A = this chain, B = another copy of it.
Amino acid sequence: MAKQLGCWLNGEPCQYIAVGDRGLSYGDGLFETMKVVNQQPSLWHLHKTRLANGLARLDISCNLADIECWIFEACQQHPAELGVAKLIVTRGGGGRGYSPLGSGPATVLIELYPYPDYPAANCSAGIHLFPCTTRLAHQPLLAGIKHLNRLEQVLARQEWQTAEYGEGLVLDQSGHVVEATMSNVFLVCDNQLITPDLSLCGVEGTCRAFIIEQAEKRGMPVEVLNVTLAMLFTATEVFVCNSVLGIWPVRAYQAHCWPEQKCWPIGHMTQYWQQTLIEVLG
């Protein structure tokens, strides 16, 4: 997301924020990264739900109706058929040290970006996962929401630079599989779709929420549970997903541990959800 295509602060065009904003001082805020298709934000209802959860969790007040209006107006300005919109909501300026008392009003930033130039093969042929050594800390008060404290993800993503790996798998302090650095993980064991429980750490992605919601509706509910590496190694399919990239099949992770040294296939379940997402996200 190198070149920014436009930016609005509280609905007005703007490229800068005040140095005293608590988003900068403490990461005191939240963000959403959306796929923009034909000038509309995809899966907006799920982004809005997660944002609302985050605002409630951090006790940040703002007008969600204004934000919704600004997002749709901004996406209308996107110059391409496919793109990305990034929304940041911070507690605003002020307060006294860490105390939010007297802070605000909230800062609402919306930025437009071109659609990222991910290799097309990530979708069609799948990816290899880098084994990140950075472990996510257990913090139930912040788990699930997409807040601005993202140093763990920066550290994990910093661990590899080669194009060989499309994503990196991140475990928690207990060694459970949580997510990839910018996407959620699903696996198929005995024809059952499984995704890690995120009540102690990790981000509840909107694409993950979409799959959970749709799978429920279609009578094949996803199991949300603690996922061990042993479960991953016995899975018959693995994929990662987020609302911008869609679904990338995972072909390999630490191949030396594999049963019979085989790569994962791009199985039926992965293809089914890839297709379903394309229908919805474009």
Contact = CB atoms under 8 A, between A and B. Distances in A.
A204 interface: no
A152 interface: yes
Contact of A150 (B14, B149, B152, B158): B149
Contact of A24 (B1, B21, B151): B21
B24 A182 contact: no
B100 A158 contact: yes
Contacts of A116: 96-97
A109 B19 CA distance: 8
A228 to B, nearest CB: 20
Contact of A138 (B21, B99, B138): B138
A139 interface: yes
Contacts of A20: 4, 111
Contact of A98 (B9, B149, B154, B173): B154
A23 interface: yes
A17 B141 CA distance: 29
A16 B22 CA distance: 13
B16 A157 contact: no
Interface size class of A (residues with CB under 8 A): 35 or more
A31 interface: yes
A124 B59 CA distance: 34
Given A16-B18, A111-B19, A28 B151 contact: yes
Given A137-B138, A151-B58, A99 B19 contact: no
A2 interface: yes
A158 B98 CA distance: 8
23 contacts: A4-B20, A14-B19, A16-B19, A17-B17, A17-B24, A19-B88, A24-B24, A25-B150, A26-B149, A27-B27, A27-B150, A58-B155, A59-B158, A98-B153, A98-B156, A100-B154, A100-B157, A101-B161, A137-B137, A137-B139, A141-B152, A147-B151, A148-B151
